[in-house]
Amino acid sequence: MSLLQVKNLVVEFPGRRGTLRALDDISFDIAPGEILGVVGESGAGKSLTGASIIGLLEPPGRVASGQILLDGQRIDDLRPEQMRKIRGRRIGAIFQDPLTSLNPLYSVGRQLVETITTHLPVSRAEARRRAIQLLRDTGIPAAEERIDHFPHQFSGGMRQRVVIALALAAEPQLIVADEPTTALDVSIQAQIITLLKTVCKDRGAAVMLITHDMGVIAETCDRVAVMYAGRIAEIGPVHHVINHPAHPYTRGLMACIPDMDTDRERLNQIDGAMPRLNAIPRGCAFNPRCDRVFDRCREQRPELGPAGATRAACWLHERVPGSCISTGEMA
């Protein structure tokens, strides 16, 4: 059974000149112990999807329709005080910049202890013991001493480990990690990735990993959802999406990754740019940048459907009635 279910999620931003639709009919699920990667260009809607799940949409953003269910319970329509009890206790969050997640005026130990005592029925002494163990588990050396240090006394990588410890403090079922390695050195990134994988395996927590780095996705995730212009373009097992991309946008993203075995002067790129929310083209949103576009792409919007081992929103994989051939295979 899925731990997290996102069903036909639509997020809108009302304004004086009309309503902008930032997420358009997003659906996916995550099983306990699974890591789902969410990847795409800036503006694709990755972080907005995470914020919707955590209940931290910035006004005037709102969930206009659809449902978000955590372990079968709908959480997108809860009152703010109800959502606060779930956030931290059942859903943990890891953000890109650890300094924005940590209070510079309090020691990391105080912040960990307050989080634990807020969500779990334990004494402060027990909470402190748990906090020290969490710091140990996340790779903080000399945890008994460092627990009384302040955020500015930690390096960037160590601060991110403290943030992961905070996210794990109340033993949540789901962790939403929004670009958790972007601000870190490459060597530290690898350590944080390993830590996330270990946490997922040992604690059985589901992880939603939001990133723009396909290398991080390949190293960390079980499945990956590729987002474009507020919709899911392709979703499936990470090995198949990376090695056999079914959507032209996914194929373009993979082609942009440098190949160390090939000698070439210029990197591949996807021509054009992500459309603005008030200028999303008719039909498939990717059609102005697609090298395999045909008339139907410009008129009708494709839905997610079978595309080999993955699911893709692309007319190239539309089955012809009475045939085992897709339109893409015939083209």
Among 172, 143, 168, 171, residue whose Cα is nearest residue 180: 168
Mapped onto helix, strand or coil, the DSSP state of residue 10 is strand
> Tokens 């334990």 sit at which residue?
122
pTM of the model: 0.90
User: Is the domain of 31 the same as that of 167?
Assistant: yes
Q: Among the three residues 166, 195, 221, which one is the final residue of a domain in this structure?
A: 221
Asked if the structure places residue 197 within a domain, the reply is yes
User: Is the domain of 47 the same as that of 144?
Assistant: yes
* Domain tally, the chain: 2
Q: Among the three residues 200, 221, 242, which one is the final residue of a domain in this structure?
A: 221
**From first to last of its 331 residues, what are the pLDDT tens digits of the chain?**
799 999 999 999 998 888 999 999 999 999 999 999 999 999 999 999 999 999 999 889 999 999 999 999 999 999 999 999 899 899 999 988 888 889 999 999 999 999 999 999 999 999 999 999 999 988 899 999 999 999 999 998 899 899 999 999 998 999 999 998 877 788 788 888 888 888 778 888 999 999 988 888 888 899 999 999 999 999 999 999 999 999 999 999 888 777 666 766 677 788 899 999 999 999 999 999 999 999 999 999 999 999 999 999 999 987 544 434 455 543 3
Token reading at 197: 């994988």
pLDDT at 274: 92
User: Is the domain of 169 the same as that of 51?
Assistant: yes
For residue 320, give Cα distances in angstroms to 131, 302, 304, 327, 330: 58, 15, 16, 7, 10
User: Is the domain of 118 the same as that of 138?
Assistant: yes
pLDDT at 320: 44
What CATH number does the domain containing 17 carry? 3.40.50.300
Token reading at 137: 């588990």
Please state, in angstroms and rounded to a whole number, the distance separating the CA atoms of residues 175 and 197: 12
Asked if the structure places residue 226 within a domain, the reply is no
Domain carrying residue 260: 231-330
Burial of 46 (0-12, 13-18, 19+ CB in 10 A): buried
Among 111, 105, 82, 221, residue whose Cα is nearest residue 170: 111
Token reading at 99: 């300094």
